[in-house]
Structure 1
Amino acid sequence: MSSNESGVDEPVSNQSALAKLLCGNVVHDGGDIDEVLSHLSASIDNVVEELVTLESLSDKQISLFAPFLGRSILELGCTALIARLDPFRVLLLRECQKRPNYQIDKRNNSSISWKGDVLAEKVSEPWADKSLQNPTRALLGDYYKTLIWFANFDKLLDAIEDVRGDEWIDNLRIKTFDRFYHETFTDFSSVYSELSKGIHNERVIPLSSALDRETTQRLIETTIRNIATLGLFVSVVSHAVNKLDIQVAIAAYKEIQEMGVF
């Protein structure tokens, strides 16, 4: 349902908890950015449906399919968070993809890239005038680190202060900002690299020797925990598009932990 009788857009009701946390309560026909988030939400839901079936697969099937699903969640989730924190970036991409000369068979400069839009090289003097000529807008880059994550970290801790019995939140509550950021950056870097090795056919030894059931379970859990934590974080960022009420976000965060992957 896209709107009620009064003409006010209503949220889609069948989102998974992960899609809700990453995309917010998406609506149909709500505008350009809502169209993007609606598509990303549906794509995340599709991947989640497959993730919860992993437990029933053979070890060989898990080695084959799980890396693709894990990296899909990582990329879709990061794109959704970028859309909510920096809508211009994704609207630019949307406009390029709509144009008749957009080529789907080549790498386009407008595309979301892991190195550039999610991770970026450290800026040695971020506030020097020369650095600000073309500042990185990477999700885990130096400017986001200061202006988004550090600026709102205490607000996040205040929001979860009274939450009890949630393992991920208990773990998050004891971290300093520096520890949180370092661990998040490190986890994003490592899981992307490890999952990618399961997708690209570069190995000349059996894939299952590197991506056995236990290893794959760890990678998927690390991926979901980290992307979900950033989704929870965005719920306290004042300028975020489609921001969830923090109690709704906390409930979704808890539900994700009970999703039953593996």
Structure 2
Amino acid sequence: MAEIEQLFCGKDLGPGAAGAALTQLGTSLETFGGKSLGFLAGDEPDNLPLFGPFCARVFMENACAALLGRIDPFRVMYLHEFQSQEEYDLAKRAKTAFAWTGDVISPGQLLQEMWSVDHDIAKVSRSLLSQHMDVLVWRPAIESVLDFMATTGNPISHYGFDDVDPQNFIHGLRPRISALYSILSKGVHWEFFSTSLMMDDPTIKNSIRETFAFMLKVGIISHFIPTAYCSMDRQLALETYVTLREKIA
């Protein structure tokens, strides 16, 4: 199942804090991503409602952290070094911990004017799915992915990218991936006070499948970002994406 690790963390990781952090994330991705795929395949059906949402949410968060680490390594380098300090206390909430709002989704409202001279640096978000990351990183990479897929002899639909528009993909992904995060979180914390709201097996499996579908797309796109750390060969990345996509069909 090394495909999961390589698609999100990259290949041939080097020494240093970035490589160490991504190696750790890769181990988690293999464990929880592999477990999630197992649930989709029908493994351990009794454990699906207990652990399915948890495994899928860990996979989602770790995949996002790994992608951010390859695009903007400082964040995971800092976290690796911070957690390596003797005084790091597991019992205390660190204000600089990796967080969904802030590291994946930008806090606050979307900017009406992205390039205003009046913006201070705090307005220029480096979150994984921020407006600026979308324009500077994701859109050019998506165009490269589509161009590359067009040379393979297969239709774009073969890769599930027929509905992917470089200008709107990340904008549309933000609300849906946040909704999936919320759904999975309810399964993790078991936030149910009415039996009518409890998640049944099909709901959990659909959430896992949709989470993987979105994250696999972002994963393959990341290997077409020229500045991303330790990207795979593009053909190998595409083959890895196809292999994993078949597991959620």
User: Which portions of structure 1, spanning 4 or more consecutive aligned residues, are displaced by more than 6 angstroms?
Assistant: none
Contact kept, 8 Å, 1:52 with 1:259, in 2: the verdict is yes
SS at 1:77's partner residue? Answer: helix
Distance 2:157 2:204 in 1: 21
Match of 1:5 in 2: none
- The Cα shift of 1:51 comes to 2.2
Task: Indicate the RMSD between aligned Cα atoms, in angstroms.
Answer: 2.1
Match of 1:253 in 2: 241
- The Cα shift of 1:84 comes to 0.1
**Structure 1 residue 68 corresponds to structure 2 residue 57:** no
**Structure 1 residue 17 corresponds to structure 2 residue 3:** yes
Match of 2:104 in 1: 118
Matched ranges for 1:1-40 at <5 A: 16-27=2-13, 30-40=15-25
Matched ranges for 1:46-61 at <5 A: 46-54=31-39, 55-58=42-45, 61=47
Supply the AA of the counterpart residue of 2:127. A
Q: TM-score, normalised by structure 2?
A: 0.89
**Structure 1 residue 85 corresponds to structure 2 residue 85:** no
Distance 1:91 1:57 in 2: 36
Contact kept, 8 Å, 1:119 with 1:141, in 2: the verdict is yes
Q: Which moved further from structure 2: 135-144 or 181-190? A: 181-190
CA offsets 1:146-171 (integer angstroms, 9 cap, x no match): 111123222121111134277562x3
| Compared CA separation, residues 132 and 63, structure 1 to 2 (3 A) | same
Identity %: 26
Supply the AA of the counterpart residue of 1:42. T
Q: Which moved further from structure 2: 180-189 or 132-141? A: 180-189
Match of 2:146 in 1: 157
CA offsets 1:97-122 (integer angstroms, 9 cap, x no match): 12222221122122111001101131
Supply the AA of the counterpart residue of 2:20. E
| Compared CA separation, residues 46 and 156, structure 1 to 2 (3 A) | same
Contact kept, 8 Å, 2:142 with 2:166, in 1: the verdict is yes
CA offsets 1:86-138 (integer angstroms, 9 cap, x no match): 00111111121122222211221221110011011312332223424212111
Question: Any stretches of 5+ residues in structure 1 without a counterpart?
Answer: 1-14
